[in-house]
C-alpha cells in the first residue's frame, strides 16, 4: 500500500514538473552499483539501522542453513552405511558393538533404544515380553532425534517471516521523512522527493533479499527432516521384525537342547 502511494505521488509530481522529463536537464546518472552505494551511504539513521539488522539476520540465517546442510549430509551418509552394516550382519550384538562408529546417523539412537529395551526385557534372547514397549521406545528415540535435528529451525522460519516487514518498516519511515522534508521545503518537485523515496525503498529490497533464501532453505530443510523421520520409523519397524524373526528361530533350538537331556535320562533308565 505504501509503495502504491509513493508511486502515485511520483507520477503527480512528474506531471506537475515538465522539466523533469527533459533529458538535458537531468544530471548525469552514475552506474548502478555506485548509485546503490551512494543511496545506502545517504540513508537516514532509521534506514541504516534497518539495513544493519537485516544484515545480521542474513548472516544468522545463512549460518543456520549451511550448518544444517552439512550435518544432514553427514547424517544421511552414515545412515546408509549403518543400514548396510545392519542388513549384512545377522546378530544384534555385533551391530551394538560397532554402532558408535555411525553416531551422526539418527538411526543409531533408534537402534540403541530398542536394543536396550530388548535387553532389559529378555536379556537379548527369545521373544520380547512386551512388544508394545519396544514400539514406544522406537517412537521416543525417533522423536528425540528429530528434536535435536530441528534445533534453530524456528529461528530460520522467523527470519523468513519477519525480514520483509522489517524492510517495509524502513521504507515507511523513509517515505515519511521524504514527504516531511518536501513539506518543509515547499518545493513539490520530483527532484526534491525522488532521492528520499529511492533511498527508502532500499530497505524493502534488502528485506526481500534476506527473506527469499531463508524461505527456500527452510522448506528444503523441513523436507529433509520429514525424510529422516520416515526413515527412522521404517528402520524401527525393520528392527522389530528382525528381533521377532530371530526369536522365532532360537526357541526350537533351546527346546531341542532341553529334550536331549530328557532322552538321555530315559535311555539311562
Please list the pLDDT of the chain residue by residue as tens digits (269 residues).
Answer: 444 444 434 433 433 443 333 433 333 444 555 666 666 666 667 778 888 999 999 999 999 999 999 999 999 999 999 999 888 876 778 888 888 888 889 999 999 888 888 888 777 677 778 888 888 888 899 999 999 999 999 999 999 999 999 999 888 887 877 777 666 655 556 565 666 677 778 888 899 999 999 999 999 999 999 999 999 999 988 888 888 877 666 544 444 444 444 444 444 43
The whole-number pLDDT of residue 82 equals: 92
Whose CA is closest to 239, among 123, 108, 140? 108
The single residue listed with the C-alpha cell 539488522 is: 53
**pTM (2 d.p.):** 0.71
The whole-number pLDDT of residue 43 equals: 63
Distance CA 137, CA 143 (A): 10
Distance CA 61, CA 217 (A): 9
SS3 57: helix
Distance CA 89, CA 263 (A): 35
The whole-number pLDDT of residue 253 equals: 42
Q: Is the distance from CB of 241 to CB of 131 less than 8 angstroms?
A: no
The whole-number pLDDT of residue 219 equals: 96
Residue ranges per structural domain of the chain: 44-250
The whole-number pLDDT of residue 10 equals: 40
Contacts of 95 (CB under 8 A, 6+ apart): 85, 86, 89, 111, 115
Distance CA 31, CA 214 (A): 29
End-to-end alpha carbon distance in the chain: 103
Distance CA 47, CA 229 (A): 43
Amino acid at each position: 500500500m505504501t509503495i502504491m502511494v509513493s508511486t502515485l505521488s511520483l507520477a503527480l509530481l512528474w506531471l506537475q514538473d515538465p522539466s523533469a522529463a527533459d533529458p538535458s536537464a537531468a544530471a548525469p546518472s552514475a552506474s548502478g552499483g555506485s548509485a546503490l552505494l551512494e543511496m545506502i551511504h545517504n540513508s537516514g539513521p532509521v534506514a541504516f539501522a534497518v539495513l544493519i539488522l537485516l544484515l545480521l539476520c542474513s548472516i544468522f540465517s545463512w549460518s543456520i542453513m549451511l550448518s544444517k546442510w552439512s550435518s544432514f549430509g553427514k547424517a544421511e551418509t552414515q545412515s546408509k552405511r549403518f543400514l548396510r552394516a545392519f542388513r549384512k550382519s545377522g546378530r544384534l550384538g555385533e551391530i551394538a558393538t560397532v554402532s558408535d562408529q555411525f553416531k551422526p546417523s539418527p538411526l543409531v539412537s533408534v537402534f540403541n533404544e530398542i536394543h536396550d529395551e530388548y535387553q532389559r526385557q529378555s536379556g537379548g534372547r527369545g521373544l520380547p515380553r512386551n512388544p508394545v514397549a519396544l514400539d514406544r521406545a522406537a517412537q521416543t528415540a525417533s522423536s528425540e532425534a528429530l528434536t535435536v535435528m530441528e534445533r534453530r529451525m524456528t529461528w530460520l522460519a522467523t527470519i523468513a517471516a519477519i525480514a520483509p516487514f522489517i524492510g517495509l518498516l524502513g521504507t515507511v519511515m523513509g517515505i515519511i521523512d521524504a514527504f516531511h522534508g518536501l513539506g518543509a521545503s515547499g518545493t513539490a518537485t520530483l527532484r526534491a522527493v525522488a532521492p528520499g523515496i529511492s533511498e527508502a525503498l532500499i530497505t524493502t529490497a534488502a528485506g526481500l533479499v534476506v527473506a527469499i533464501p531463508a524461505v527456500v532453505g527452510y522448506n528444503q530443510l523441513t523436507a529433509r527432516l520429514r525424510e529422516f523421520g520416515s526413515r527412522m520409523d521404517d528402520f524401527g519397524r525393520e528392527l522389530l521384525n528382525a528381533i521377532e524373526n530371530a526369536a522365532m528361530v532360537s526357541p526350537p533350538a533351546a527346546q531341542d537342547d532341553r529334550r536331549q537331556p530328557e532322552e538321555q535320562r530315559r535311555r539311562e533308565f
